[in-house]
Amino acid sequence: MLALAEAAVLSTGDSVPDCELTDQNGRPLRLSQFKGQALALTFIFTRCPLADYCPRMTAHFAAVQRAMGGDKNWHLLSLSFDPEYDTPEKLLAYARAHGADTSRWTFATAKPDVVKGLGAWFGLEARMKDGLIDHNLRTVVIDAEGRVQHIFQGNTWTPQELIWELRKAMR
């Protein structure tokens, strides 16, 4: 496993290093558990006040979940970069509020250094500013072999674009 402090920004085709997370049920999980299926990963925090940021990412993932219901070999992962607030209990309540089928859509967090390192792999920047978390947006599609398929920057991507990338990543 690559030490998070040594991690460089990943590009399309790069293997995604493994790391340990904690899911909405308080259970440990590893990124490597998703090998063999396409994975879409986005970074959020549950108390984000900006409708065009984390709430939009969550709404897009909900639309993807509905549209891909019958497809196999895919999973969605919403990773909180606010681990001190977003406990497993809060993530579970957030998942339920957004209609997440947790067999297909996991909400997780990790130790602060792990979240920071994982975000850095994809160019995520998050910092406290005036008592709020100031951040950019990254949504990543990882193929069934565990390689970066596509990185969406910002919030202009659509659920249909993510579905297309996920289906491509399943092959």
State which CATH number among 3.40.30.10, 3.40.50.300, 3.30.1180.10, 3.30.720.210 fits the domain covering 19-170.
3.40.30.10
Q: What is the pTM for the complete model shown?
A: 0.93
DSSP characters for 28-84? EEEGGGGTTSEEEEEEE-TT---TTSHHHHHHHHHHHHHHTTT--SEEEEEEES-TT
pLDDT for position 127? 85
Question: Higher model confidence: residue 7 or residue 47?
Answer: 47
Question: Crossing angle of helices 159-170/54-67, nearest 10°?
Answer: 60
Residue 90 has pLDDT above 60, yes or no: yes
* φ and ψ of 22, to 5 deg: -125, 125
pLDDT for position 7? 52
Q: Where are the domains of the chain?
A: 19-170
Residues 47-68 have pLDDT tens digits of 999 899 999 999 999 999 999 9
**In whole angstroms, what is the distance from residue 48 CA to residue 109 CA?**
15
Question: What's the token pair of residue 37?
Answer: 């299926």
